Amino acid sequence: MDRMIYVAMSGAQQTMRALQTTTNNLANVNTTGFRADLNYFQSQPLEGEAATTRTFVETGDAGYDFSHGGLVQTARDLDVAINGDGFFSVLSPNGGEAYTRAGDLHVDASGFLVNGKGQQMMGNGGPIALPPFEKIEIGGDGTLSIRPAGSSAEALVVIDRLRLVKPDLDLLVKGEEGLFTQGEQAAPVDASVQVVSGAVESANVNAIEALVQMVSLSRQFETQVKMMRSADENAEYAQQLLSDS
């Protein structure tokens, strides 16, 4: 009887973890450039000094879904999206370099170019700072050109260039803030990465599929809880029979 309880208990625990992952993906369906988390179930024998007679369920981390999201046209000069593979480089919270697909940019109060989450965009020499300007253009290679305040309409000045990289996807790890890192070694600039201005990339989460998966996982969890209750009831009946005999 304990085998049934053990399998159902471990299954319910890991189903809840998978449900949390799916819920997080669905909650970020409108987050610019978001990449969905993936996981999978596998059976794992419980090994010890005695014979292996128990098997529990384990949720494995299958990495991340790096498929491209759709491009949403915004017509904003500061909105930019990666065209194909690649990432923007941003300043990570610990002062290092991290990667994102979020290109919903604006200039903060200190003059730094940041994305929607306030993460500073990296350029050729570090975080990009912009002087006062009347117009800005972002080229296909990430080049930032501005018309300084008070200048003529033809006076465009190249300020910096977005640091565009194409890291090894197998080495990327996502942090709690949603940024990807590649360990201590920063990815080099990749000239093949191109951007589209006046647009942002949507999350690559399919809301309908995520909802269906949530319903499926919820039903699995309910079934596993019922199995634990049944095992407990069977144990009580068995104890009564032994007491009466």
pLDDT at 78: 95
Average per-residue pLDDT in the chain?
87
d(Cα 61, Cα 16) in Å, to the nearest integer?
A: 14
Task: Looking at the structure, tell me whether residues 40 and 76 fall in a common domain.
Answer: no
6 and 51 housed in the same domain: yes
36 shares a domain with 18 = yes
State the pLDDT at residue 42.
Answer: 66
What pLDDT, in 10s, does the model give residues 219-228?
Answer: 988 988 888 8
Mean pLDDT of 184-209: 94
Let me know whether 19 and 139 are in one domain: no
Same domain assignment for residues 62 and 149: no
* Shared-domain flag, residues 144 and 185: yes
State whether the Cα torsion 234-235-240-242 is positive or negative: positive
Q: What is the pLDDT of residue 229?
A: 83
- On the question of pLDDT at 119 being above 80, the answer is yes
Residue type, 182: Q
Residue ranges making up the domain that contains 225? 2-66+205-244
Q: Which pLDDT score, from 0 to 100, does residue 50 have?
A: 60
Q: What tokens were used for 199?
A: 């647009």
pLDDT tens, residue by residue, 22-51: 999 999 999 999 999 987 766 666 666 665
pLDDT value of residue 183: 81
Note the residue count of the chain. 245
* pTM for this predicted structure: 0.82
Look at 57 and 218; give whichever has higher pLDDT. Answer: 218
What lies within 8 Å, CB to CB, of 133 at 6+ separation is 146, 147, 148, 149
pLDDT of residue 58: 63
What residue has token string 């201590």? 184
> Could you give the C-alpha distances from 210 to 9, 41, 47, 92, in angstroms and in order?
24, 17, 35, 29
If asked whether residues 89 and 184 sit together in one domain, one would say yes
Tokens representing residue 77 in the block: 């000069």
Total structural domains within the chain = 2
Q: Is 180 in the same domain as 234? A: no
Which band of pLDDT confidence, cut at 50, 70 and 90, is reported for residue 244? low
Q: How confident is the model at residue 156 (pLDDT cuts 50, 70, 90)?
A: confident
- Compare 224 and 159 and report the one with higher pLDDT: 159
Give the Cα separation of 18 and 42 in Å (integer).
Answer: 12
Q: Which of 83, 60, 82, 90 is nearest to 178 (CA)?
A: 90
Higher pLDDT, 233 or 130: 130
In tens, the pLDDT along 228-241 reads 888 777 777 777 77
Residue 1 has pLDDT above 60, yes or no: no
Q: How confident is the model at residue 206 (pLDDT cuts 50, 70, 90)?
A: very high
Domain co-membership, 75 together with 196: yes
The verdict on 183 and 238 lying in the same domain is no
**Residue 184 sits in the same domain as residue 211:** no
* pLDDT value for 46: 64
> 180 with 222, same domain?
no
Tokens of 80: 């930019």
Specify the DSSP class assigned to residue 53: -
Q: How confident is the model at residue 59 (pLDDT cuts 50, 70, 90)?
A: low
